[in-house]
Amino acid sequence: MIDPSIPDASIIALAGLIAGGLNAIATGGTLITYPALLLVGSAALEANATSAVGLLVGYIAGAIAYRDEIRNSDGVQSIRLVVLAAAGAIAGTTLLLLTDEGVFRRIAPILVLFAVALLAAQPRIARNVRTGSASAGPRPRARWGDLAVIGCGMYGAYFGAGMGVLIMGVLGILLPLALQTVNAWKSLLSFVIGSIAVLILSFSGLVHWDAAALIAVTSAVGALVGVRIARRLSTSAIRWGTAVLGIASAAALIVTG
């Protein structure tokens, strides 16, 4: 259990604030909230579940912001993507609930480093999406595309950090869409995956609801602040700063795991 002391609450609140800002600017909020929850005494699975619940607010805001682009998309394709992502999210959350605490604690540093790699690769992924959007070149076969979207859902529901970058890369390969439309779909599918994970985790007994509520509030504030900061700071500096924090988190998890 998490000690409801003022120092612990302050750590959680600050983590939520920073995470909300990072998610608004790029991605990587889980790289902040997950280690912070471990720091205040949460078990690994509980920290992951609580972080997922607390950060859902940011996905909602992103989906709402891109509602016009989503509304103007192909309806059949839209339903297909949502169903595939939802199926992956159900599988990923189920896998999470079946994972032993000790196993997850050992896997977590690898997942953190994978998220850091995705974050570092974000500019290249965005360029590839932009290039692919401008051409009508050959696309992967449907079954491989379906598996890729399901895989995004599984990863996002299982851990979540870097999910947006992963989805954006996959959609950029699969669909000849404009960059902003791909970004819109990234936001919607992140919301779908996050919502399903949260719905299932809500009945798991793993969520610290007081900490999740605190993260939800402060991450919402952080998202608003993050947009203003993004206008003043280099996105590259923010991305690499987050990557350094992620590597430090992974190292700490390995040492203490």
Structure confidence at residue 192 as a pLDDT band (50, 70, 90):
very high
Structure confidence at residue 150 as a pLDDT band (50, 70, 90):
very high
Q: Is the pLDDT of residue 129 over 60?
A: no
Q: Is the pLDDT of residue 87 over 90?
A: yes
137 or 20, which is more confident: 20
pLDDT digits 0-9 by tens, 21-66: 777 666 678 888 988 999 898 999 999 999 999 998 877 776 776 7
Which amino acid belongs to residue 244?
V
- CA-to-CA distance for 29 and 73, rounded, in angstroms? 28
**Burial (CB count <10 Å: 0-12, 13-18, 19+), residue 157:** buried
- CA-to-CA distance for 213 and 2, rounded, in angstroms? 13
- CA-to-CA distance for 52 and 28, rounded, in angstroms? 12
pLDDT digits 0-9 by tens, 204-219: 999 999 999 999 999 8
DSSP state of 240: H
Give the pLDDT mean for 184-191: 84
Strands in the chain per DSSP E: none
Residue pair 133/179 in contact by the 8 Å Cβ criterion: yes
Buried b (16+ CB within 10 A) or exposed e, 33-42: bbbbbbbbeb
